[in-house]
Structure 1
Amino acid sequence: MKNLFVKWNQISLVKRIVIGIIAGLILALIVPTAASWVSIFGSLFVGALKAVAPVLVLFLVMHAISVHKSGTKTNMKAILGLYAIGTLLAGAVAVAVSFMFPVTLTLTTGAEGLSPPEGIVEVLETLLFNIVANPVNALLNANYLGILMWAVVLGLALKNANQNTKDVLGSFSDAITKVVQWVINLAPLGIMGLVFDAIVTTGFSALLVYGKLVLILVGCMLFIALVVNPLIVYVYIRRNPYPIVFKVLKDSGITAFFTRSSAANIPVNMKLCEELGLDEDTYAVSIPLGATINMAGAAVTIAVLTLATVHTLGIEVDFVTALLLTVVAAVSAAGASGVAGGSLLLIPLACSLFGVPNDIAMQVVGVGFIIGVVQDSCETALNSSSDVLFTATAEYAKERKEGKVVTVKS
């Protein structure tokens, strides 16, 4: 048994995940009722990720800032700029594609009881209050903006602490990272349960009904991952961007696709940054920060579903309003993790730009929940892989400015 366990762990995580997917499909198609216990593995897996990810972000950022030496240069300003550019361009691509390939929806229910924000002011207000939230409540509610703020403040306060205290923080960070790695190693079992539950509960029919919408969403995200992001990287480093693009998609994007959590994917991204030889002082902060605010996938979801609603209702859209939607989608996406319901719950806000009634907009949120098994996975994969991509891009761009030979590792 021990030898079998060792051999299983020697198989790459991606291959083990594929085995989990196949097992979930087989059980769902052959014995959907007799194997109903399988779904508990998916619930336990998601629950474990949700439990450990907030604590991970707190300790990683707090430790990284506390040990940062004054005068040490980082690329955070450039990385933040890349995060903003990437998210804004993602919104613009989604708007353009939605006009090129308009989608109409068969509206549904399924989002009753949710309370979307009523305007951009309320979104900004929510973000501000999330930032200053009680740290215990922030951890309990997975309020990553609040967690990030407290991590930064405590990290700055601990900069003058003695080395023993910083070593303890480092040990806690390493321990929690190890716990997350253990949970991710259980991904094949968890994904088997999630796949089984998705097929038994909704079947393939629900996805087929909204097939065109799913294709638009996935198509936009693939275009951003394979065309827009590489163009951004090329502009900064003037080298072939695809070696690094494919590496982050393979080593970060695939894992994030199945875990569906940017925060839980932080240890994977940190390890990848280390493999790429990036500056630890930079990526120790940029990766947890990116998991909170770098949300290109969310911008795509908000823009595409909003314009699908508009096309369904036959509302004419002028250029200025479309441009405004791009900005609203980008700003809202950056704060999606700090708003209950994530990116889907911000759709009514974007719909309000076109005068769409709230009850109709909430039906579109229901559609989002139906296709969420595909939409959310692709969204997370794009978001998380971009964190590493833009962190590496900023460092390579810095080397280029200093006259060094830029070596893009693959």
Structure 2
Amino acid sequence: MPSIKRLDTRDTGFATELERLLAWESGEEAGVRDAVREILDAVKAEGDAAVLRYTERFDRLERDSVAGLEVPQQRLQAALEAIPAAQREALETAAERIGEYARHQSMQDWQFTDADGTVLGQRVTPLDSVGLYVPGGKAAYPSSVLMNAVPARVAGVGQLIMVVPAPDGELNDLVLAAAAVAGVDRVFTVGGAQAVGALAYGTATIPAVDKIVGPGNIFVAAAKREVFGTVGIDMIAGPSEILVVCDGETDPEWIAADLFSQAEHDEQAQSILVSWDHAFLDRVNEAMDRLLEEMPRADIIRTSLQNRGALIAARDLDDAVAVANRVAPEHLELSLADPQAALDAGLRHAGAVFMGRHTSEALGDYCAGPNHVLPTSRTARFSSPLGVYDFQKRSSIIQCSPEGAARLGRTAAELAHGEGLTAHARSAELRRES
């Protein structure tokens, strides 16, 4: 049976125990940061030569030029045609649903005219270029390609550059097929901090982009943190998380599988169940015991549950909602007869909310439509899922009428004089005098 913590909100030490459970450090030690900075500095100074050197060193992939690391569009199409028809249909269906959801997110231009004829507004424009980092090698994450590339396309991004490591030259057809479905413009078999540096600074072969999105290991995360400011980034993601709130009426095996779905990601993933039916917590624990040995990644699941999992006994729905708000999980399942009641009870913090007994988190990972790039490590308190708005930017529009310039100039000049900025004041006053 997997060893998993049992907590009770009625215990006097509950808040402290919950805080310990939620604590997580990225593990970006000084050695990682130093190594990443060295790689980034080399890519910035040497361009293609550094990219080739680090690709040979870390991925054992030798090429005469970075151009030799580019995957031609014909190869993407060949991969799409080579995969089984069922996989191709699944990719296309998922892309269609992600796109449909994304189209509802697009920000719009707007303007209004105030009483003296001054026009104020907002202009929305897409980013010119975006870099998509995709983990590679034996790992296959076609869903990551779709979740990052499709909203960018809906936003109108001009160019989408994908980087994916190919250790020993190994490429995954499903990932390449997803790039074809999503309309990725260029793909380079480059990974690690050197790929992030190439996208941030540009080389003779790999274009610099405006923003870098997509998951990666600790070196990729550290590199994204370092280049932020030169380019935009989506987020620095922590381990995957799920919190399930259940009234005790859902099949315990369903809930056990839902908890496993995050625990199998890695040993630091977090899976938490909260219920006011305390006997149900025991039934779920028994179900986990039955199902665990069926899981190919049983060792990872077991370690994850031991490290950071919990079964939490709550007083009632309101108490469970309070726990959920404190945790602010990446994924929140409301496995309830009336999930809307939980929203109405003051639920505020979650990356994505899965409503009702039949809505598993796994659907959101692949094909429901909303993005699976979500805030982790309690950052759902102040941040949101990746979406079209992350690939668009806003410009403010201001056009003063003569009357507006006179009226606003008086206010601006008064404030500018107060700040000791005489040129500001004069700039506003000259238009008043005209």
TM-score (norm 2): 0.30
- Richer in strand (by share): 2
Higher RCO structure, 1 or 2 (CA under 8 Å, sep 6+): 1
- The structure with the largest helix share of the pair is 1
TM-score by length of 1: 0.31
Larger radius of gyration: 2
